[in-house]
Amino acid sequence: MRVALFVPCYIDQFYPQVAVASLELLEKLGCEVVVPTDQTCCGQPMANSGFASSTEGCDANFSQNFEGFDYIVGPSGSCVLHVKEHHPSKKIRNSVYEICEFLMDVLKVSSLNAHFPHRVGLHQSCHGQRGLHLSSMSERNEKHFSKIEDLLALVGGIEVVLPVRVDECCGFGGTFCVTEEAVSVKMGQDRIKEHHANAVSYIVGVDTSCLMHMEGILRRQGSKVQVKHIVEILNHA
Amino acid sequence: MSAREQILGKIEPLAESKHPGAFQGASEEFDFRASLAVVGARVMTMAELETEFPGRRRYDKTLDGLSLAEIEVLEIDGEFGVAENGAIWLLEEALPHRVAPFICQHLVINVKKIVPHMHAAYEELGKVNSGFGLFLSGPSKTADIEQSLVIGAHGARSLTVVIHA
Amino acid sequence: MLSHAEASENFIADADRTDWHDETLWFVREKRDKVSKVLPEWEALREHASQIKDHTLANLGEYLQAFEAKAQANGITVHWAADAAEHNAIVHDIIAAQGSKILVKSKSMLTEECHLNDYLASKGIEVVDTDLGERIVQFRNEAPSHIVLPAIHLKKEDVGETFHQFLGTPKGNKDPQFLTEAARQHLRGHFLASEVAITGVNFAVAETGEFVVCTNEGNADMGAHLAKVHIACMGIEKIIPKRADLASFLRLLARSATGQLITTYTSHFHKPREGQEIHIMLIDNGRTRQLADPKYKNSLKCIRCAACFNTCPVYRRSGGHSYHQPVAGPIGSILAPNIDKKANVDLPFASTLCGSCSNVCPVKINIHEQLWFWRQDLMEAGLAPVGKTIGMKLMAFTLANPVIYRIGGSLLRRFAGLLNTRLNPWYKQREMPVAPQESFQEWYKKR
């Protein structure tokens, strides 16, 4: 299967290991992975700040890089959601997948050669969950399901622990993290407090942006807890 | 132009969207007594009522609004109860005054009929043309101070229900 | 006036109180979860209620006129007001005709929106708010911080002190039971003496001309049934077509609001009692403008349950006053810009767009999507600070050009250390991410 890997800009620049793991994982699962090298940003930072009118350049660049692919796969719920909801091309909107969604719904992965013998706290990123419906939502009266938990269950040795507030937002929120700094940090601290109480070694999520925010707080607190994008664990032999 | 004409003039008809009709698929498994317990009402038999409130006043048309404030315990008849939420439908005709169930200190209501849920309740009500009616569920309450539940805000401090069904 | 971000920073400075506020409202959210999850038909009910509202909004003009005709036939006087000023003037005229100088009022967010209390005070008329929470904040000269729990920003110590000052309760007594009893005695006097009572309206039924008022305390009824004149104030969006529709809305309202099965009192006012006058105020105040915009029309479905407040992680940690509007929280943030874009430009940004609000909404308003639309409209209206506009345009330009993006990215990584300064809001309480030597694309090229 031919797949174009969508590497969001901040992952490209600050978390290359997440893109590397995505690439390796998809290849391991038999995909022919193409990495369009002129890709930049999906335009979400501007759009969520009220400047969707300024994202034409990003949209055009995204189209140039990803036109013609039936599967555009990215390791970021919020960037994928942005493309799915706002990109002008219907073909692209219909072809973009968050990586867990792609693994479960398209590749239908049922086993993985992965091992991660640690106690891991799961952070539900809102855009992956409420936007892309990667898992059931605590607000709704619906049957429990989670593509994320199903994938993690394929990893050897892992122990996944859920916080009590199972899907509360971490407070990253794009530019919200600086324009509403006080609330943003408080929300992040409160999420982390629950994971600390659960004595986890790692916090895992499907959105590096949430993880970056929580990592920033963890490091400032001098915590030993680390953050991992789910693909880093799924690709961990 | 009057405000009425102004407002109505500004309302553009939107694309038609159908009224969904009556709600289908409501659960029927509700327990009136359990709901009464949840909303803080007590259930008593007539005999228990006699012991608890021997001096209570039954609805009496000669009472007016203000003297009602002097009544400790008022006993009235409800039209029917709703199992899903412990609400009892009260009609103006069965009240000495509209304020009666609010202004007395303790309220006793007789219930002879129970419907499962609110959809059935409105079916039961039909197109009654009474001037005033209410669903009453439990005693007056508030949690406006630190979310601590306090019974007896402005209305009756207790509700006792006698089920004759 | 402080922006939402500034006011929130002040609120959060008291960490213990913030935690208390967050946990208390989360508890209300949990109660809502519990009662909604034992009803298998919950999601179907939400959909049903949403469809009734869609239908009503599509035919609002007809339903308003039908309601008016029925209400008039029932002996109720119907008034229309295009805006807050007109509303307040009409209400004042009714009170003046009665000659009252003091009146009782139960909770009405509409009168908060119209700032009726201040207006009447300027005319020498005292309004006594009778909802316990509203009375508390009225004594303190504050606005309600939550539309269902008006005094949720206060601790019992605060209420004890306020009641000591205004009602003469013993200093230091902070027992909710005792304080509630003190308010009961104090307000009972006002109920018995008032000739005019103002209430809000939860639902108005076009089919019958009746209106429904929901309370737990019984204060709306105590006021309305004892007064000679009852004035009920409602926005035009409170209309519903049929009496039977009330079933769905009443099942959803209290469960969503407080996790109760139904409010204690759900009163159906159909005709004035003998010798009484009932007046209904139908107010637009920007609602027809909202209705005409397909992006925002759904906000008019709101039944004011405040479930979106209780679930909102931002609201819980910033308090209602940080929204500087009578209706705070996520729903307030999509209603307020319709009234005044400039004054409320911060509110649609007081959200992470997490989407929890839309999920709890009993009438399925797409709140978080409307927040996003408002962000666009406000920025397009030129209401962004100059720095933000320049920054965004620069960012858009950089990110649209792969070459410039690569140069920019590599510079950013090389000089990331320079961002470790207190001038960088990120760095104030968080470390910056560690910049790697190579970007992914640089690594990939060598692969």
State the SS3 of C272-338: CCCCCEEEEEEECCCHHHHHHCCCCHHHHHCCCCCHHHHHCHHHHHHCHHHHCCCCCHHHHHHHHHH
Task: Decide if B129 contacts B98 (C-beta within 8 A).
Answer: no
Q: Is residue A55 part of a domain?
A: yes
Note whether B12 contacts C265, CB cutoff 8 Å. Answer: no
> Beta-carbon neighbour count of residue A145 at 10 Å?
12
Question: How close is the nearest chain B Cα to the Cα of C381, in Å?
Answer: 23
Average pLDDT over residues C211-237: 98
Distance CA A147, CA A169 (A): 18
Q: Which of C40, C317, C396 sits opposite A186 (nearest CB)?
A: C317
Domains and their CATH numbers in chain B: 30-163 (3.40.50.10420)
Q: Within this chain, do residues A162 and A187 fall inside the same structural domain, yes or no?
A: yes
C4/C321 Cα distance (integer angstroms): 9
pLDDT at B1: 82
Q: Of C355, C372, C426, which has the smallest distance from its Cβ to A178's Cβ?
A: C426
CB contact under 8 A, C356 and A130: yes
Residues A220, A130 within the same domain: yes
Tokens of C139: 């004594």
A48 interfaces chain C, CB cutoff of 8 Å: yes
Structural domain range at position A16: 2-106
Asked if C198 and C127 count as a contact pair (C-beta separation under 8 A), the reply is: yes
Q: Is the pLDDT of residue B165 over 90?
A: no
Paired tokens of C143: 């606005």
C355, C359, C396 ranked by CB distance to A51: nearest: C396
Q: What span, in angstroms and rounded, lies between the C-alpha atoms of C353 and C373?
A: 11
Lowest mean pLDDT among A151-155, B63-67, B92-96, C374-378: B63-67
Encode pLDDT of C350-392 as tens digits: 999 999 999 999 999 999 999 999 999 999 999 999 999 999 9
Query: To the nearest 5 percent, what fractions of chain A are helix, strand and coil?
Result: 50, 15, 40
Which pLDDT band, with edges at 50, 70 and 90, does A237 fall under?
confident
**Counting Cβ atoms within 10 Å, is residue A39 exposed (0-12), middle (13-18) or buried (19+)?**
buried
A182 and A96 assigned to the same domain: no
User: What is the pLDDT at residue B69?
Assistant: 66
Helix C132-139 and helix C176-193: axis angle, to 10°? 90
Conformational region of residue C55, where left means phi above 0, alpha means psi within -120 to 50, and beta covers everything else:
alpha
DSSP-based three-state secondary structure for C267: strand
Q: Do C288 and B155 touch (CB under 8 A)?
A: no
Q: Mean per-residue pLDDT for B120-140?
A: 93
Closest CA to C256 of C363, C331, C355: C363
Phi/psi at B2 (5° precision): -70, 160
Class of the CATH domain delimited by C39-285:
alpha beta
Q: For A19-51, what is each residue's pLDDT tens digit? A: 999 999 999 999 999 999 999 999 999 999 999
Same domain, A86 and A123: no
Q: What are phi and psi of C217, to 5 degrees?
A: -85, -30
- Angstroms from A53 CA to nearest CA on chain C: 8
B14 touches chain C (CB under 8 A): yes
ipTM of the complex: 0.97
Instruction: Look at the block and give the residue holding tokens 């019992």.
Output: C156
The amino acid occupying position C351 is S
Interface test with B, best of C179, C225, C264 (most B CBs within 10 A): C264
**From the CA of B146, how many Å to the nearest CA of chain C?**
6
Percent of chain B with pLDDT over 90: 81
Task: Give A63→chain C minimum CA distance, Å.
Answer: 11
Minimum CA–CA partner of C407 in chain A: A13
Is C268 within 8 Å of B134 when comparing Cβ atoms? yes
Distance from CA of A57 to the nearest CA of C (A): 5
Q: Look at residue A47 and tell me if it is in a domain.
A: yes
For range B15-39, the mean pLDDT: 96
In this structure, the number of other CB atoms found within 10 A of the CB of residue C312 comes to 29
Q: Which amino acid is at A104?
A: M
What are the extents of the domains in chain C? 39-285, 386-446
The 10s digit of each residue's pLDDT in C298-335 is 999 999 999 999 999 999 999 999 999 999 999 999 99
Q: Which of B8, B27, B150 sits opposite C64 (nearest CB)?
A: B8
CA B14 to chain CA centroid, nearest Å: 37
C chain contacts of residue B6, beta-carbon cutoff 8 Å: 82, 284
**pLDDT confidence of residue C210:** 97
Yes or no, beta carbons of A216 and C400 under 8 Å apart: no
Q: How many structural domains compose chain A?
A: 2
Q: Which of B20, B82, B142 sits opposite C48 (nearest CB)?
A: B20
Q: Give backbone dihedrals phi and psi of C20, rounded to 5 degrees, phi first.
A: -60, -45
pLDDT of residue C422: 86
DSSP letter at A129 equals I
Amino acid in the structure at residue C253: L
Residue A139 belongs to a domain with what CATH number?
A: 3.40.50
- Closest Cβ–Cβ partner in B19, B132, B150 for C176: B150
Does A6 contact chain C (CB < 8 Å)?
no
Q: How many CB pairs under 8 A join A and C?
A: 211
Helix, strand, or coil (residue C365): coil
Question: What average pLDDT is seen over chain C?
Answer: 97
> C347 to chain A nearest CA, in Å?
11
Q: Does C314 contact A180 at a Cβ distance shorter than 8 Å?
A: yes
pLDDT for position C94: 98
Please tell me if residue B111 touches chain C, with a CB cutoff of 8 Å: no
Task: Verify whether the Cβ–Cβ distance C352 to A131 is below 8 Å.
Answer: no
> pLDDT for B54-91, tens place per residue?
989 888 666 666 577 678 999 999 999 999 999 999 99
* Rounded Cα gap, residues A205 and A220, in angstroms: 20
**Looking at chain A, which residue has its C-alpha nearest residue C43?**
A141
Shortest CA gap C20–chain B (Å): 10
State how far Cα C319 lies from the chain centre.
Answer: 12
Radius of gyration for chain C, computed over Cα atoms and rounded to the nearest angstrom: 25
A51, A102: one domain: yes
- Tell me: do A209 and A129 sit in the same domain: yes
Beta bridge partners of residue C432, listed in sequence order: none
Chains B and A touch each other (3 or more Cβ pairs < 8 A): no
- Which chain A residue's Cα is nearest to C376? A50
Inform me whether the pLDDT recorded for C441 exceeds 70: yes
Q: Is C405 in contact with A212 (Cβ distance < 8 A)? A: no
Query: Which pLDDT score is estimated for B61?
Result: 66
Chain-chain contact of C356 with A169 (C-beta, under 8 angstroms): yes
Subunits close to C (at least 3 CB pairs below 8 A): A, B
Give the pLDDT confidence score for residue C301 in this predicted structure: 98
In a domain, A112, yes or no: no
- The pLDDT-based confidence of C227 (bands split at 50, 70, 90) is very high
- Rounded to whole angstroms, the Cα distance separating A215 from A225 reads 8
Say if the Cβ atoms of C156 and B145 lie within 8 Å.
yes
Alpha carbon distance A167, A187 (integer Å): 12
Is the Cβ of A181 closer than 8 Å to some Cβ of chain C? yes
Out of A49, A184, A212, closest to residue C392 by CB: A49
Spell out a b/e string for C72-88, using b for 16 or more CB atoms within 10 Å of the CB, else e: eebebebbbbbebebbb
Q: What is the mean pLDDT of chain A?
A: 97
Q: What is the pLDDT of residue C132?
A: 98
CB C334 within 8 A of CB C348: yes
List of chain C residues whose C-beta atoms are within 8 Å of the C-beta of residue B30: none
Helix extents (H) in C140-175: 156-167
- Report the pLDDT averaged over residues A53-64: 97
Out of A85, A106, A127, pick the residue that ends a domain: A106
Minimal Cβ distance to C217: which of B39, B99, B155: B155
Q: Give the integer Cα–Cα distance in Å for A177 and A191.
A: 15
Q: What is the mean pLDDT of residues B11-31?
A: 94
Q: What is the predicted pLDDT for the residue at B65?
A: 60
d(CA C239, CA C206): 7
Question: Which residue in B30, B98, B144, B150 has the most chain C C-beta atoms within 10 A of its own C-beta, making it the best mutation to test that interface?
Answer: B144
Averaged pLDDT, A100-125: 97
Contact C305, C256 (CB under 8 A): yes
Closest to A163 in 3D by CA, of A216, A121, A109: A121
Instruction: Judge whether residue A88 has pLDDT over 70.
Output: yes
pLDDT of residue B70: 73
Chain A's closest residue to C443, CA to CA, is A16
Q: Kindly determine whether residue B131 and residue C59, on different chains, have CB atoms separated by under 8 Å.
A: no
Judge: C376–A48 Cβ closer than 8 Å, yes or no. no
Length of chain C: 447
Chain C and chain A touch, per 3+ beta carbon pairs within 8 A: yes
- Do A127 and A226 have their domain in common? yes
Residue C6 amino acid letter: E
Q: Judge if A87 and A162 occupy the same domain.
A: no
Contacts with A188 from chain C: Cβ below 8 Å: 430
C-chain CB neighbours of B12 within 8 Å are 291-292
Position C402 scores a pLDDT of: 97
Instruction: Give buried/exposed letters for B102-122 (b at 16+ CB in 10 A, else e).
Output: bbbebbbbbbeebbbbbbbbb
Cα gap C429→C431, rounded to integer Å:
7
Q: Are C296 and C275 in contact (CB under 8 A)?
A: no
Instruction: Choose among B86, B122, B127: nearest Cβ to C247.
Output: B122
* Contact between chains at A183 and C378 (C-beta distance less than 8 A): no
Top residue of A64, A180, A190 to mutate, by most chain C CBs within 10 Å, is A180
Q: Give the distance from residue C286's alpha carbon to the nearest chain B alpha carbon, in angstroms.
A: 10
CB C375 within 8 A of CB A48: yes
Any chain C CB within 8 A of the CB of A141?
yes
Q: Among A165, A183, A220, whose Cβ lies nearest the Cβ of C12?
A: A183
Note the pLDDT of residue B127: 74
Instruction: Tell whether the model's pLDDT for residue B129 goes beyond 80.
Output: no
Distance from CA of C393 to the nearest CA of A (A): 7
Distance (Å, rounded) from C-alpha C295 to C-alpha C299?
9
**Nearest-10 Cα torsion for C59, C64, C70, C72:** -160
Q: Which among C155, C158, C230, C161 has a CA at the least distance from the CA of C191?
A: C230
**Residues with Cβ < 8 Å from C93, sequence gap 6 or more?**
none
- DSSP-derived secondary structure for chain B: --HHHHHHHH-PPPSP-----S---------HHHHHHHTT-EE--HHHHHHH-TT-EE--TT--TTGGGG-SEEEEE-SEEETTTTEEEEEGGGSSSTTHHHHSSEEEEEE--EESSHHHHHHHHTT---SEEEEE-SS-EE-TTTT--EE-SSS-SEEEEEE--
Q: How distant is the Cα of B114 from the closest Cα of chain C, in angstroms?
A: 16
In B, which residues are within 8 Å of C82 by CB distance? Answer: 3, 6-7
Q: State phi, psi for B24 to the nearest 5 degrees.
A: -110, 150
